[in-house]
Structure 1
Amino acid sequence: MTPTQNVPEDRIQIGQLRSAYGLNGWLWIYSNTDPMSNVFDYLPWYIETSAGWQTVEVKRWKPHGKGLVVSLKGVSDRTAADNLVGVDVWISKSQLPQPSVDEFYWSDLKGLIVLGLDDQEQEVNLGQIHELFETGANDVMVVRATPESVDGEERMVPWHRDVVQRVDLEAGRIYVNWGVDY
């Protein structure tokens, strides 16, 4: 681990160090990537500890059970691993491949204003995307009310081709075929 001042401004979280594994400094890592092993395709990693931002180097990693474990350079015993439990793993967004047409990174969608339809089929502000999550059938946007939205309701809006009409990242908006009363 190397202290660094060059933390990317465009950083995004791709995982979290969850718990120590064994006695030799290995850690369980939770991955936000799909497939989960892709977390190792985006190096270097940046972490923030009580000592400040650091760059970490992956020595080795392996699948274990339903998860992944990792050995980091400079982390050689259980105590050192325990000190990293709960630390988020970040990368520069520029390390990610460009999404294809009509594909988006969830991090780009968070914060977008969601515009739906009222009873008269008029455009109406439903709120702002707070988070997204997967279900078996499709992804779901959690849309939270804002002072400008039509009401104070939180909505779960499916990410589906019949619902999502258009995404305008530059304008910070997403247009959906979703009514106020759904």
Structure 2
Amino acid sequence: MADPKGLVCVGAIAGGFGVQGEVRLKSFCADPAAIADYAPLLTEDGRSFGLRVTRALSGAFAARLTGVSTREQAEAMKGTRLYVPRERLPNPGEDEFYHADLIGLAVLDTGGAPIGKVKAVLDHGAGDILEIARPGRPDLLLPFTRAVVPTVDLPGRRIIADPPEGLDGPERE
């Protein structure tokens, strides 16, 4: 997710770990361990933290954040999202996209009719899914595959989608 200040969320704190101020850190990076390479990390309220990963955990990392030295401080950070400025991230490869770059893009069908806007990019393990917000209609979930989403035009701020028949619910008017 991106915020208005051009920041990209790269991780979140899931709570404290141990008794000496380590946090349980969930990384949203393609290479989860790379989150440490982007330090210092920022919070939504403007705080900045250095980060050192201390060990891998199941689905997360134990990490030390500068200025966090007690379990109570670490637990108080539970739910805190960690960000980096977009320009500090490497450029994605061909046909690769940062979720933050997709959120907010207009989604059109192959005939040019508007479908909605990308609200979120969901990852449930079997591949990314675009959550499309549609005015006056329930959100639409589209598999983020080349067959369903043949065109992503970042400069044009749009996506061309070809939803499988029946996925969209009742016919559009």
Same fold (TM over 0.5): yes
Per the alignment, residue 85 of structure 1 pairs with 78
User: CA offset at residue 163 of structure 1?
Assistant: 1.7
1:173 and 1:59 mapped to 2: Cα distance?
38
1:11 alignment partner AA:
L
Q: Normalised by the size of structure 1, how large is the TM-score?
A: 0.80
Per the alignment, residue 38 of structure 2 pairs with 42
Is 1:134 matched with 2:123?
Answer: yes
Matched-pair identity in %: 26
Is 1:21 matched with 2:21?
Answer: no
Per the alignment, residue 73 of structure 1 pairs with 66
Q: Secondary structure at the match of 1:107?
A: helix
Per the alignment, residue 116 of structure 1 pairs with 109
Q: 1:147-180 deviations in whole A, cap 9, x for unaligned?
A: xxxx724211111111222111222110112267
Cα distance, 1:16–1:137 mapped onto 2, change above 3 Å? closer
Is 1:170 matched with 2:163?
Answer: no
User: CA offset at residue 130 of structure 1?
Assistant: 0.8
- Provide the aligned length of Structure 1 versus Structure 2: 164
8 Å contact from structure 1 (residues 14, 33) kept in 2: yes
8 Å contact from structure 1 (residues 138, 158) kept in 2: yes
2:94 and 2:49 mapped to 1: Cα distance?
33
Based on CA coordinates, which of the two structures has the bigger radius of gyration? 1
Cα distance, 1:174–1:106 mapped onto 2, change above 3 Å? same
8 Å contact from structure 2 (residues 36, 52) kept in 1: no
Q: Indicate the RMSD between aligned Cα atoms, in angstroms.
A: 2.1
In structure 1, runs of 5+ residues without a counterpart are 1-7
User: CA offset at residue 98 of structure 1?
Assistant: 0.4
User: CA offset at residue 136 of structure 1?
Assistant: 4.2
8 Å contact from structure 1 (residues 126, 180) kept in 2: no
Cα distance, 1:76–1:139 mapped onto 2, change above 3 Å? same
> Higher strand fraction: Structure 1 or Structure 2?
1
Q: Normalised by the size of structure 2, how large is the TM-score?
A: 0.84
